[in-house]
Structure 1
Amino acid sequence: MLAIDIVGLLISICLVSIRYPHYAFMAAMVNVLGQIITAVLFTGNVEKFITAGVFSSAEVTNLGGLKTILFTFSGPITNFLLSKMAGGVEFVSTANIVNPFAVLKHPLAVINLRFAVVSFLLGLCQLL
């Protein structure tokens, strides 16, 4: 089952990028897609996915210790890889990387990097 939490998506868009909401929404979809692909590769039994941007959660059974950790961080890793493939993060100042209101030359790369960092931190809290 796949559920979409609109409130979580809106809060995620506000956290990641208010100026480019379409890129933030795409980053959320890339995150969930990375988790779905990882669950399929690890042959986990997918019970449900709740897509809520950086607050997304999943209930997957039949995964062991290391596979659970890899599954939890597969979404942020997917966002980070997309950010590196898109390029352009090197040419953005640190203040603009953190600022969700900033005008960006390469918004796809920066927003996926922001999304990866916030999603990683929330995933780390979820594991603990």
Structure 2
Amino acid sequence: MLIVDFIGIVATTVLIGIRYPHHVLLAISLHELGEIVMAVVFNGQIDTIIAAGAFSTMAVSNYNSSLIGTLLLFSGSLANFIASSLAGGIAFEPTSRLLNPLSALKHPFAVVNFRLCVLAGLISLWKIFV
């Protein structure tokens, strides 16, 4: 079952890059696709997907290891990091623009994916420890 949480998507858009909402939606789609692909690779049965941007969750059964569960938890962030690395452009942006969601960017796709990678990774760490 797929549930789309518009409040989470809007919150992610505000936190990641309100100036580039189309890039944020593309990065969120890539994040969800990374989670789905990783679940399929590890033969997990996807029960529920809640698409909420950086706050998304996925209920997967049919895996035996906690290591696989951790990989599934960070797979969306990994997909965003890979997309950011392949797009390039982070090295050409000043550091102050990497964290400011209101700044104008030369390479917005790479920076938005990097921001989503960091935010979703921090939220995944929070899910592990709390």
Shorter chain as normaliser: what TM range?
Answer: over 0.9
Deviation at 1:39, TM superposition (A): 0.4
The alignment's TM-score, normalised by the length of structure 1, stands at 0.98
**What does residue range 70-109 of structure 1 map to in structure 2 within 5 Å?**
70-109=71-110
**What does residue range 6-85 of structure 1 map to in structure 2 within 5 Å?**
6-63=6-63, 64-85=65-86
Q: What secondary structure does 1:91 align onto?
A: coil
Identity of aligned residues (%): 40
Deviation at 1:3, TM superposition (A): 1.0
Deviation at 1:45, TM superposition (A): 1.1
The alignment's TM-score, normalised by the length of structure 2, stands at 0.97
Deviation at 1:62, TM superposition (A): 1.7
- Unaligned 5+ segments in structure 1 are none
Deviations 1:27-47 (A, max 9, x none): 111000000000000001110
Q: What secondary structure does 1:58 align onto?
A: strand
Distance in 2 between residues matched to 1:100 and 1:88, nearest whole Å: 16
Distance in 2 between residues matched to 1:35 and 1:68, nearest whole Å: 11
What RMSD, in angstroms, separates the aligned Cα atoms of the two structures? 0.6
Distance in 2 between residues matched to 1:126 and 1:103, nearest whole Å: 32
Q: Which residue of 2 aligns with 1:122?
A: 123
Deviation at 1:23, TM superposition (A): 0.4
Equivalent residue letter for 1:109: A
- Deviation beyond 2 Å, 4+ runs, structure 1: none
Deviations 1:95-117 (A, max 9, x none): 00000001001000000000000
Q: What secondary structure does 1:82 align onto?
A: helix
- Unaligned 5+ segments in structure 2 are none
